[in-house]
Amino acid sequence: MDIIKQPWPWYVAGPLIGLIVPALLILGNKTFGISSTLRQICAACIPANISFFKYDWKKDTWNLFFIAGIVIGGFIAAHLLSNPGPVGINPKTIVALQQQGIKDFSGLLPQDIFSFKALTTLKGFVFMVIGGLLVGFGTRYAGGCTSGHAIMGISSLQWPSLVATCCFMIGGFVMTWLILPYLLQL
Amino acid sequence: MKNLKFLLVGICFGIILIKSEVISWFRIQEMFRLQSFHMYGIIGSAIVVAMIAIVLIKRFNIKTIYQEPIVIPDKKFNWGYVYGGLIFGLGWALTGACPGPLFAQIGSGILVTTVTLLSALAGTWVYGLLREKLPH
């Protein structure tokens, strides 16, 4: 039980995530990918006569069960399989982030930026609202996210997914190194 | 009822995302600062294991539990993969989350992530609205 309660190392978590790909294929020819559920929810709730949202989203209901499962899994892991608490990141990262103004390292996300209180500040708005917009717009424009392109796409040897994944990384490096230092000063 | 098995797979995925701390903003920062192997190890080993599984499925002609042949649709390149990919990357480093982890964060009790998720839905919606006008 102690092993389950500790944070899992990459060589345990990574292969387990990899096994989700064949599991979904064998359980019903489903390809792993999360961002398509965002399109589905839009199609179901706010289609607004936009052609992109006029499709038979009910055919992919399995996907909605899958994300409901992720929410439940998150609940189970956080409440029954012990609280992760402070994340054991590299001390160098902590020092660098402290220099850029982050004070709180107690949870999974820094409370200075991600909290209901921070939402009323410009910083919180930029990180949560603008960040969310970029994630939603970008994944759909790119036709997939980390699960659909990086894991499902590359493992099934789709070269366009490799291109998309490289662009994910480039975007992330640009944000972290060139833009984030300014945004953290807001 | 047919869909309940996907709920179970989702539960497993959600647990792994939390237990491996993939959903932590700090882990994503560490990755983009090249100060840890953790995220690269997770994504890399997931790809290798999935790749081996797909090779085995093809090699032994493994079928679904309904005895249907397994088909993986091909992805056709368009420039949206590049433009969208770069935009997603910016958002990934900012929010510290991709779509899967957003759901796991909410489940784990970080309720403020609901705001990020609603924004992501709005972003997807705006893409749908502008799609015809965007270069692909």
pLDDT, mean of residues B17-32: 95
- Same domain as A176, residue A102: yes
Kindly determine whether residue A13 and residue B13, on different chains, have CB atoms separated by under 8 Å: no
Q: What is the mean pLDDT of residues B55-82?
A: 95
Residue that finishes a domain, picked among A82, A103, A120: A82
B69 pairs with which residues across the strands?
Answer: B63
Same domain assignment for residues A77 and A121:
no
Over residues B108-127, the mean pLDDT reads: 96
Q: Kindly provide the ipTM of the predicted complex, given to two decimals.
A: 0.96
- The answer to whether A172 touches B86, Cβ cutoff 8 Å, is no
Give pLDDT tens digits for A3-53: 778 889 999 999 999 999 999 999 999 999 999 999 999 999 999 999 999
Query: Residue B91: what pLDDT?
Result: 97
Both A150 and A117 in one domain: the answer is: yes
What pLDDT, on the 0 to 100 scale, is given for residue A84? 60
Residue A106: C-alpha distances to residues A102, A121, A140 (Å): 11, 21, 33
Amino acid at B49: V
For the cut 80, the answer to whether the pLDDT of residue B75 exceeds it is yes
Nearest CB to A133 within list B21, B46, B119: B119
Map tokens 């902590």 to a residue: A94
What pLDDT, on the 0 to 100 scale, is given for residue B1? 75
The residue-averaged pLDDT of B1-7 equals 92
Please, is B17 exposed, middle or buried when counting C-beta atoms within 10 Å of its C-beta (0-12, 13-18, 19+)?
Answer: buried
The total of structural domains in chain A comes to 2
CB-neighbour burial class of residue A122 (10 A; exposed 0-12, middle 13-18, buried 19+): exposed
How far does B70 lie from chain A, in Å, by closest CA? 6
A127, A74: one domain: no
- Inspect the interface and report whether the beta carbons of A140 and B6 lie closer than 8 Å: no
> Which of B2, B5, B9 should we substitute to test contact with A (largest number of A Cβ atoms within 10 Å)?
B9
Residue A83: the pLDDT is 63
H or E element at residue A85: none
CA distances from A108 to A122, B7, B17, B43 (A): 21, 24, 12, 19
pLDDT > 80? residue A2? no
Judged by a CB distance cut-off of 8 A, whether residue A147 touches chain B is yes
Q: Are residues A65 and A111 in the same domain?
A: no
At A99-144, the pLDDT tens digits run: 999 999 998 999 999 999 999 999 999 999 999 999 999 999 999 9
Contact B136, A56 (CB under 8 A): no
**How many CB pairs (< 8 A) connect A and B?**
497
Looking at residue B131, its pLDDT comes to 96
Average pLDDT over chain B, rounded to whole?
96
Same domain, A130 and A67: no
- Range in A81-85, B43-47, B85-89 the model is least confident about: A81-85
Contact residues, B window 12-41, toward A, CB-based 8 Å cutoff: 12-33, 35-41
CA atoms of A137 and B124, how far apart (whole Å): 5
A164 & A118 share domain: yes
Choose one of A82, A113, A135: the last residue of a domain: A82
Average pLDDT over residues A153-173: 97
Residues A63 and A109 in one domain: no
If asked whether residues A98 and A78 sit together in one domain, one would say no
Cross-chain residue pair B9–A27, CB shorter than 8 Å: yes
Nearest to B26 among A74, A93, A174 (CB): A93
Q: Are residues A141 and A172 in the same domain?
A: yes
- Count CB atoms within 10 A of the CB of residue A178: 9
- A29, A58, A82 - which closes a domain: A82
pLDDT band for A153, please (50, 70, 90 cuts). Answer: very high
Residues of B whose CB is below 8 A from A38: 99, 120-121, 124
What span, in angstroms and rounded, lies between the C-alpha atoms of A27 and B12? 15
**Residue A50 and residue A24 share a domain:** yes
CB pair distance less than 8 Å for B85 and A4: no
pLDDT(B60) > 70: yes
Based on the domain organization, do A100 and A168 belong to the same domain? yes
Between the alpha carbon of residue B102 and those of residues A137, B22, B23, B34, B92, the distances in Å are: 15, 11, 8, 23, 11
A62 is in which domain, residue-wise?
1-82
> What average pLDDT score do residues B84-88 get?
98
Decide if A135 and B45 are in contact by the 8 Å CB cutoff. no
Q: Does B79 touch chain A (CB under 8 A)?
A: no
